[in-house]
Amino acid sequence: MNALRILSDEHQSLAAVLHAIRFMLKDIAAGKLEPDRALFQAMVHYLEAYAEQRHHPKEDRLFAILKTRTAQGAEALATLSAEHAAGPERIAALRRALADFTADPRTLDAFAAAFDQYATFYRTHMMLEEEAVLPLAHHALTPADWAEVDAFFAEAETDKGGEDFSALFDRLVECAPEPIGLGARPYAATR
Ligand SMILES: [Fe+2]
Ligand SMILES: [Fe+2]
């Protein structure tokens, strides 16, 4: 059942980046922070790539097994799976708003509105998983199911061809303003 802890940890990382973007937008609107467009781009990339490449595939596997064990939670699972499928479309809307803001800083409000919409959606999505589905999996899966899930998760973690999301997260924290990060400094993809 290590898998449940991994999913919760991944939610924490995604929530931290959502929180960071919200914090920065608030300070930019208040004139307290200069926007770092490269940092915003890297954060939105993190939200997209980490969720799509690392997080959702693990959940999809767990949910598929859960469905074979119980009819409970069927509605929540259908909602979550539709939301996973619509993930790229939702993040594309956020990307477009960020591209507009990068081209024209006067569109800050539109970017902030697009971000709010995305953040609200994703927080609700994670909450449904944490409150309705993960506890159900905790009770419904058999030891053999957990062995299968844990093996799948371990395999996903050792996918050496993928991006180093932990290093990316650290760079985001290094460049984010205090108190959410180590202090505002220009974001660069590599050090
Ligand atoms: Fe999910
Ligand atoms: Fe999730």
Q: Do 133 and 80 contact (CB within 8 A), yes or no? A: yes
Tell me how far the alpha carbon of residue 31 lies from the centroid of ligand 2, in angstroms: 34
Tell me how far the alpha carbon of residue 64 lies from the centroid of ligand 1, in angstroms: 13
Tell me how far the alpha carbon of residue 87 lies from the centroid of ligand 1, in angstroms: 9
Tell me how far the alpha carbon of residue 33 lies from the centroid of ligand 2, in angstroms: 31
Q: For residue range 121-142, what is the model confidence (pLDDT) as tens digits?
A: 999 999 999 999 999 999 999 9
Q: Which CATH architecture has domain 2-175?
A: Up-down Bundle (1.20)
Q: For residue range 143-182, what is the model confidence (pLDDT) as tens digits?
A: 999 999 999 999 888 766 788 999 999 999 998 999 888 8
Domain boundaries, the chain: 2-175
Tell me how far the alpha carbon of residue 32 lies from the centroid of ligand 2, in angstroms: 33
Q: Is 184 or 50 the better-scoring residue by pLDDT?
A: 50
3-state class (DSSP) for residue 167: helix
**How many other C-beta atoms can be found within 10 angstroms of the C-beta atom of residue 47?**
24
Within 8 A by CB and 6+ apart from 100, the residues are 107, 110, 111
